């Protein structure tokens, strides 16, 4: 016996599905949406192995056998201690980091083979570990802005880094297996409204008729009066006595 449908949405750290989840729950109250937190390195495999119906992951990355719809591109920032000289500027370039030790975690979402600056002796396992090392004064870290916010600490801040690779957040699912639930979620992330053509077709399939504006009966105006209304200011002026 098949259970009730559930839409399983995976997401990597820094991706923010809250708005789309809220819209889903408004439009599909009978289909629960299950959120699955995933590490960057396991996001693609989660849909390949049917542990999720779709995932919000980062590009560039492993896309073999997957569809991917880029949703937005993030600003790249460098995370530094609050008392670092870099904080005097609103944004910095790679040249400004030339003499700095740069931490390069193994789960780096930017796919940057050789970040600027002096490479640290060892690569931290995760971005979270790298943040702790920045706080300890062991180096600086380049990440998408959402990860800098996710790992916020009072003793750290960040500045925009120009000329650096950027990370795109994308919706991804297996090739050749676009289910109805995935199609519905694609419509939500693309901003499709319930009054769109596809939305009306889905509503009709569920037994609901699309809402159409009613036209006034022939021979009547929208105000309900017969004939054509006279324009204002026309007609014979009245004489004063």
| pTM, full prediction | 0.73
Same fold, 7-73+168-205 and 76-162: yes
CA nearest to 76, candidates 154, 146, 169, 152? 146
Give the C-alpha separation, 117 to 132, whole Å. 19
Domain range annotation of the chain: 7-73+168-205, 76-162
State the architecture of 7-73+168-205 in CATH terms.
3-Layer(aba) Sandwich (3.40)
CATH superfamily, domain at 76-162 = Periplasmic binding protein-like II (3.40.190.10)
> For 202, which DSSP code?
H
- Per-residue pLDDT 10s for the chain (241 aa) are 456 789 999 999 999 899 999 999 999 999 999 999 998 888 999 999 999 999 999 987 777 889 999 999 999 999 999 999 999 999 999 999 999 999 999 988 888 877 889 999 999 999 999 999 999 999 999 999 999 999 999 999 999 999 899 999 999 999 887 889 999 999 999 887 766 544 444 444 444 343 343 444 454 444 444 444 444 444 554 555 4
Backbone angles phi, psi at 182, to 5 degrees: -65, -45
**Are 185 and 9 spatial neighbours (Cβ–Cβ below 8 Å)?**
yes
Give CA torsion, residues 212, 216, 221, 223, to 10 deg. Answer: -70
Which pLDDT score, from 0 to 100, does residue 44 have?
Answer: 92
Q: What is the pLDDT of residue 212?
A: 42
């Amino acid at each position: 016996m098949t259970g009730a449908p559930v839409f399983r949405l995976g997401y990597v750290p820094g991706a923010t599905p809250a708005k789309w989840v809220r819209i889903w729950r408004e439009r599909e109250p009978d289909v629960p949406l299950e959120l699955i937190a995933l590490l960057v390195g396991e996001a693609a495999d989660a849909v390949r192995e049917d542990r999720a119906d779709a995932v919000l992951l980062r590009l560039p990355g492993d896309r073999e056998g997957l569809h991917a719809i880029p949703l937005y591109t993030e600003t790249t920032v460098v995370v530094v201690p609050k008392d670092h000289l870099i904080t005097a500027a609103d944004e910095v370039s790679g040249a400004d980091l030339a003499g700095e030790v740069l931490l390069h975690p193994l789960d780096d979402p930017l796919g940057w083979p050789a970040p600027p600056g002096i490479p640290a002796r060892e690569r931290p396992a995760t971005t979270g570990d790298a943040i702790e090392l920045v706080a300890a004064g062991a180096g600086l870290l380049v990440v998408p802005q959402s990860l800098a916010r996710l790992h916020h600490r009072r003793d750290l801040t960040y500045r925009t880094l120009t000329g650096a690779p950027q990370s795109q957040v994308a919706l991804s699912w297996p090739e050749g297996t676009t289910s109805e639930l995935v199609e519905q979620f694609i419509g939500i992330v693309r901003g499709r409204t319930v009054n769109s053509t596809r939305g009306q077709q889905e509503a009709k399939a569920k037994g609901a008729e699309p809402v159409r504006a009613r036209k006034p009966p022939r021979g009547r105006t929208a105000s309900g009066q017969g004939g054509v209304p006279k324009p204002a200011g026309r007609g014979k002026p009245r004489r004063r006595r």
